[in-house]
Amino acid sequence: MITLKEALKLPKEELPHLKQDLKKRIEEKKELNAYISLDESGDGVPILIKDNIQVKNWSVTSASKILQGYISPYDATVITKLRENGLAPFGRANMDEFAMGSSTETSYYGKTLNPHDYERVPGGSSGGSASAVGGGVAIASLGSDTGGSIRQPASFCGVVGMKPTYGRVSRYGLSAYGSSLDQIGPITQNVEDSAILYDIISGYDPKDSTSADIEYSPITPNLNPNQKYRIAVIDNYVKDASTEIQQAYEKTIRTLEKLGHTIIHKEMTDAKYDISAYYITAMAEASSNLARYDGIRYGSRVEGENLKDTYFRTRSEGFGDEVKRRILVGNFVLSSGYYDAYYVKAQKVRYLIQQKYSEIFQDADLILSPVSPTLPFKFGEKKEPLDMYLSDIYTISVNLAGLPAISLPVDWVGNLPVGLQLIGKPFDELNLFNGALSLEQGLK
């Protein structure tokens, strides 16, 4: 598949041909179920958009039944920026319902397959985005990452997934899940494409009150794979990963050393606290954010006997089980009597995690960490919600701390890819991309 960098250089008259070719590929690999729908009307390099990002006049549903029939009246800021830079939204990517999940099994549109093994999950929640890029049916894609949803599917599908610093990319037009955690980011075939797409979508946006009003200089012209870094490895983290992941991790450390980087050893808060702090925070925020889906303002409605009954029926029939579970738990942890015990405590843990990261970054420029504790798992393998949640142990602390991180493929076990992530200091995306570029080149 042509890279984003190459596609952006194509003369305009080549674009229809490119779209035709892409359509043919999508048709040939229809079984992946990575696309929910296609839209060829855009004028630019075709790019796949996760189904929770607003595109004007598109059906945008967060892969939920409750949003069937909703047509977006506006473009998200990232979409406006894509259009201004020669790209055009080409299709809606499948995802876990409301971005809640790590396997894309909870989508109302059915599961997406892993392009490298059809019996395994592509990861989630941006599973459609990653599967399409990994399966050669998208040039690049936008995903969203609340607790790993860009990085983990990227690692499961053998592609590059990047989560920007919280506040770097506008959330205007991203359906809110956990508002203090959500970021939109690129899923691409390589690190350079990731930087190109990141540059396009980044920057201050007055329409998002959490957007960072700080100076932004483009990464791409300043990329330098020869820069040497102090890279921290978190010794107490890796013990929870499977043997295959640990081996890939060790191998990558040796590669980084050969490239001239300095490895330093650090400890982090036990990842079990991340899980509790993250899921309490994310569910609390989700329960509040999803209150807007009442059958009156958006999407589908099931008429009841009175207003309250309409709310009740619409929400009972419109939301899937996982979404309901999270709304229930979220309301519980915010309820009077439990608020201090759960929500407030989770915020204290969140603060400690942030502190721990800043301590590590006093001695290190970047951190190397696994993305997933296991290789891509099989469909149906994680039936217990907690088992599914535990597959996020390596990604969620990054969101709790608001840091930028990039997942890139470092190895293969049989036909299954292994991705690892580099984590950077807040707003230090340039060094993050440089480190990733160095590693990518060193692995060739």
The residues that touch ligand GLN, with contacts defined as CB under 6 A, are 99-102, 125, 145-149, 177, 282, 392
| Whole-angstrom distance, CA of residue 413 vs CA of residue 430 | 30
Per-residue b/e over 239-252, b at no fewer than 16 CB within 10 Å? ebbeebbeebbeeb
In the bound complex, what is the minimum distance in angstroms from residue 147's beta carbon to ligand GLN?
3
Q: Phi, psi at residue 416, to the nearest 5°?
A: -105, 130
Cis status, amide bond into 125, omega within 30 of 0: yes
C-beta closer to ligand GLN: residue 22 or 95: 95
Identify which of residues 177 and 198 has a Cβ nearer to ligand GLN in the complex: 177
* Shortest distance in whole angstroms from residue 289 CB to ligand GLN: 12
The tokens 């400890």 sit on which residue? 267
Residues 6 or more apart whose Cβ sits within 8 Å of residue 354: 400, 401, 402
Q: Kindly tell me which of 200 and 405 has the beta carbon lying closer to ligand GLN.
A: 405
Chain centroid offset of residue 279 CA: 16
Q: Give the shortest CB-279-to-ligand GLN separation in angstroms.
A: 7
C-alpha of 278 from chain center? 15
Q: Which is nearer to ligand GLN, 99 or 368 (CB)?
A: 99
Q: Which is nearer to ligand GLN, 5 or 382 (CB)?
A: 382
Q: End-to-end alpha-carbon separation of the chain, Å?
A: 18
Nearer to ligand GLN, 314 or 407 (CB): 407
For residue 226, give Cα distances in angstroms to 222, 230, 275, 435: 12, 13, 36, 9
Nearest residue to ligand GLN, using CB? 149
Please report how close the Cβ of residue 126 comes to ligand GLN at its closest, in angstroms. 7
Q: Crossing angle for the helix pair 345-363 and 271-289, nearest 10 degrees?
A: 130
Query: How is residue 200 written in tokens?
Result: 């396009």
Helix (H) or strand (E) holding 88: strand 87-93
Q: Find tokens 């081996």 and name the residue.
A: 247
Closer to ligand GLN by Cβ: residue 81 or 151 = 151
d(CA 77, CA 44): 17
State in angstroms the smallest separation of the CB of 190 from ligand GLN. Answer: 22
Residue 348 C-beta: closest distance to ligand GLN, Å? 20
Beta bridge partners of 99: none
Choose between 91 and 147: whose C-beta lies nearer to ligand GLN. 147
- Minimal distance in Å, beta carbon 282 to ligand GLN? 5
Smallest separation, CB 402 to ligand GLN (Å): 14
CA–CA gap between residue 373 and residue 271 (Å, rounded)? 11
| Stretch (H or E) spanning 140 | strand 140-145
Q: How far apart are CA 296 and CA 388, in angstroms?
A: 33
Report, as residue numbers or ranges, the catalytic residues.
Answer: 50, 125, 149
Tokens 């039944």 -> residue? 65
CA dihedral 126, 182, 223, 161 (to 10 degrees): -20
Distance CA 221, CA 195 (A): 10
